Amino acid sequence: MPRLNQIIAIEKGVKARSHQRLTEAHHALQKPALLSGISRTYRSKDEEGEQLPPEATRVQAKAEDIIRSTADILGELFDVTATKDYANCKARADVVVDGKVLLAGAPVTYLLFLEKQLVDMNTFIKKLPVLDASESWTFDPSADSWATEPVQTARTKKIPRNHVKAEATEKHPAQVEVYHEDVVVGYWKTVKFSGALPARRINELLDRVEKLQKAVKFAREEANNQTVEEQKVGAAVLGFLFGA
């Protein structure tokens, strides 16, 4: 008896051949000339008249023949697909991660669904924001966010100052130059917050999803390795459709 993975392996080829044959049959049926024939003989009105050879065109395609050949290839497709689908109803396997059964007796169709979802989940995790590695972060429960250590910086203000270049005399006023001096007037205390994730957390999530992906693939292969009972349904279906 064949195994499910063998049936799956040949299904694509059978589908391709069926599609090609159906396309050819459709094109043949769209060409009336292929379905038509003619036979003409000529008889002169008297014995002394011109004699012409007969003309004939043979029928090159017959609808019944096309039906039979189409039914043959469709019958194989119907049988292979039925064998796969009937077997899929029974194909099950456990998803085992780190020696523990995560999903027991999962149907192969669900394993296929899960496998595709995990590909998307892997992409999602890789796009998660990462905390800036140049900062030192700790989790602040009160803010429910990651936070840096407070950093104090001075706030300065430019204060005008007078610089006497020359003292006043009886004849000349004092020569004074005005300049501005940066004077500390206060202090800022800055704490940065972030809703991103530490790199170790993202790496942990990626490790989990990749581990589950491997487990699901292994389970799918195990489920597809079961033997199947070949189904012969094509004859019944197509016999009803095209039978005399």
Both tokens assigned to 118: 């995990």
Question: Does residue 48 share a domain with residue 5?
Answer: yes
Residues 104, 216, single domain; the answer is yes
Task: Please say whether the beta carbons of 174 and 164 come within 8 A.
Answer: yes
> Per the structure, how many domains does the chain have?
3
Looking at the structure, tell me whether residues 121 and 182 fall in a common domain.
Answer: no
Whether 154 and 141 share a structural domain = no
Residue 127 and residue 214 share a domain? yes
102 and 201 part of one domain: yes
- pLDDT tens readout for residues 77-99: 999 999 998 998 889 999 999 99
**pTM of the predicted model as reported, rounded to 2 decimal places:** 0.66
pLDDT of the residue at 218? 95
Max Cα distance, the chain (Å) = 158
Give the model confidence (pLDDT) of 215-241 as tens digits.
Answer: 999 999 999 888 888 889 888 888 888
Assess whether 125 and 238 both reside in one domain.
no
**What one-character-per-residue DSSP string does 79-143 give?**
HHHHHHHHHHTT-EEEEEETTEEEEEEEEHHHHHHHHHHHHHHHHHHHTS-B--TTS-EEEETTT
pLDDT higher than 70, residue 108: yes
CA angle 140, 145, 147 (to 5 degrees): 60
- Would you place residue 244 in the very low, low, confident or very high pLDDT band (cuts 50, 70, 90)? low
pLDDT of residue 212: 97
The residue written with tokens 């203000």 in the block is 157
Identify the sign of the CA torsion 140, 145, 148, 151.
Answer: negative
- 53 and 21 within one domain: yes
Strand partners, 193: 147
CA–CA–CA angle 29, 30, 31 (5° rounding): 90
Residue 110, domain extent: 93-145+197-225
pLDDT of 30 above 90: no
Same domain, 186 and 141: no
The predicted pLDDT at position 55 comes to 84
User: What is the average pLDDT across 168-173?
Assistant: 77
